[in-house]
């Protein structure tokens, strides 16, 4: 399986349109991402907050997490990565006793660890935003791998969802997207191996040459084409 037998994306769009009130309705529902120039200007606190949000939402009610978010903003001092990276043991203990947030020790520690990663990116690239803004979208799976390796609790779909949170252009391997990619002969199951991830990357890159759509937009159309 792979991009060698790839079908036209226009057929996938037509299928999605047939299931969702026509092509115009499908195109109107597509997400809009930020340009690399816009991403480069984001404060690094935006990245840490996005990481914190997707980590806390995993396995929890999104509504509960969102309702408690003002508490998280206060507890993590506005998600200032340099400040959070320097949290002492006493400050971390304060988080564990803070009733304004969800007191999951492993997830709270992951937020602090990701602040350290962002501080490292600031030293090596000037800012985390500069790092993410210059990463080529044609290698989104490479960025997923970076987040899994260098970040904390950012593997699987958590890393891609974090990127989506800040409008970095990437697909997400949701259940419906995976079903569509299997149907199109790109993969045989949810992609976890390097070979399968390369097949996904190659397919999206080829489709982008065909239609010019953003990766997140193609991901949305694939999901809509399932039902």
In the prediction, which pLDDT does 70 show? 98
Distance from C-alpha of 156 to C-alpha of 172, rounded to nearest angstrom: 10
pLDDT at 221 over 60: yes
Q: What is the pLDDT of residues 26-81, one digit of tens each?
A: 999 999 999 999 999 999 999 999 999 999 999 999 999 999 999 999 999 999 99
The pair of three-digit structure tokens given for residue 152, joined into one six-digit string: 């904390």
CA distances from 190 to 37, 146, 177 (A): 32, 19, 9
Per domain, the residue ranges of the chain are 3-33+171-224, 37-135
Q: Which of 94, 110, 96 is nearest to 57 (CA)?
A: 110
Q: CATH number of the domain at 37-135, please? A: 1.10.340.30
pLDDT at 3 over 70: no
Q: pTM for the whole thing?
A: 0.94
Q: What is the pLDDT of residues 206-217, one digit of tens each?
A: 999 999 999 999
């Amino acid at each position: 399986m792979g991009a060698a037998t790839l079908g036209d994306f226009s057929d996938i769009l037509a299928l999605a349109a047939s299931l969702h009130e026509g092509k115009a309705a499908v195109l109107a529902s597509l997400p809009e991402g930020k340009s690399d120039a816009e991403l480069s200007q984001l404060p690094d606190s935006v990245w840490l907050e996005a990481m914190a949000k997707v980590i806390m939402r995993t396995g929890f009610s999104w509504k509960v997490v969102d309702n408690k978010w003002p508490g998280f903003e206060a507890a993590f001092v506005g998600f200032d990565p340099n400040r959070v990276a320097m949290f002492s043991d006493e400050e971390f203990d304060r988080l564990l006793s803070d009733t304004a947030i969800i007191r999951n020790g492993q997830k709270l520690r992951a937020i602090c660890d990701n602040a350290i990663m962002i501080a490292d990116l600031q030293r090596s690239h000037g800012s985390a935003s500069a790092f993410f803004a210059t990463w080529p979208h044609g290698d989104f799976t490479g960025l997923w791998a970076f987040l899994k390796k260098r970040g904390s609790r950012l593997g699987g779909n958590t890393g891609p969802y974090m990127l989506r949170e800040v409008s970095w252009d990437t697909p997400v391997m949701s259940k419906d997207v995976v079903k569509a990619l299997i149907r199109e002969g790109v993969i045989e199951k949810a992609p976890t191996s390097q070979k399968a991830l390369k097949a996904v990357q190659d397919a999206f890159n080829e489709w982008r040459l065909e239609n010019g759509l953003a990766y997140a937009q193609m991901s949305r159309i694939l999901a809509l084409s399932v039902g």
